[in-house]
Structure 1
Amino acid sequence: MTDRPGPNLTPGFVNEPGSTSELLPAEILAAIDVPPYLSTACDTALRVEPADVPDATGWARRLHARCRLSNKFTGAPCPCTCHDKEGA
């Protein structure tokens, strides 16, 4: 038995990447305007890459690696081009 709180927006619950436990029902998604998704990790990495600081490329690579790949509430995939390079 675990002490972890349950899914579905329970305060303090942290779902694993790829989990669908917090995905909103289709009828809710159909009723709202969902903006394009870009993960926070990839967004930050894209801002770090051009920075004139030591190891910017390394930091960006580590940030891209932390991308959750899809929005935990909508299921929308992250469109970052770094994901195109993963299988190459």
Structure 2
Amino acid sequence: MHGVDVAVSDNHSGLREAIAKQFVGATWQRCQFHVMKNLLDHAPKKERENVTAAARLIFLATDRKEAERRYAEFMARFAETAPKSCVC
């Protein structure tokens, strides 16, 4: 393939290495499904619904600045109640 700008996958190191070698210059992005799965796997059951809603707001941001603002809000909101979701 030629002209690949962005490659999306899970965080498998072999995939990331292959993408870097085969699609030189392409940006790698972790897929939203796997991000969400990891967030929820690490969230306490009582916070899963809230973590889901807050993460979706980040994904739905219309630009990078808004996504970064929502990400900062997510981190502040869940630092104590879902700390493992803040570091996965």
Q: Same fold (TM over 0.5)?
A: no
TM-score grouping bracket, smaller chain normalisation: under 0.3
TM-score normalised per structure 2: 0.25
Larger % of strand: which?
A: 2
TM-score normalised per structure 1: 0.25
> Relative contact order (alpha carbons < 8 A, sep ≥ 6): 1 or 2 greater?
1
Larger % of helix: which?
A: 2
State the structure with more CA Rg.
Answer: 1
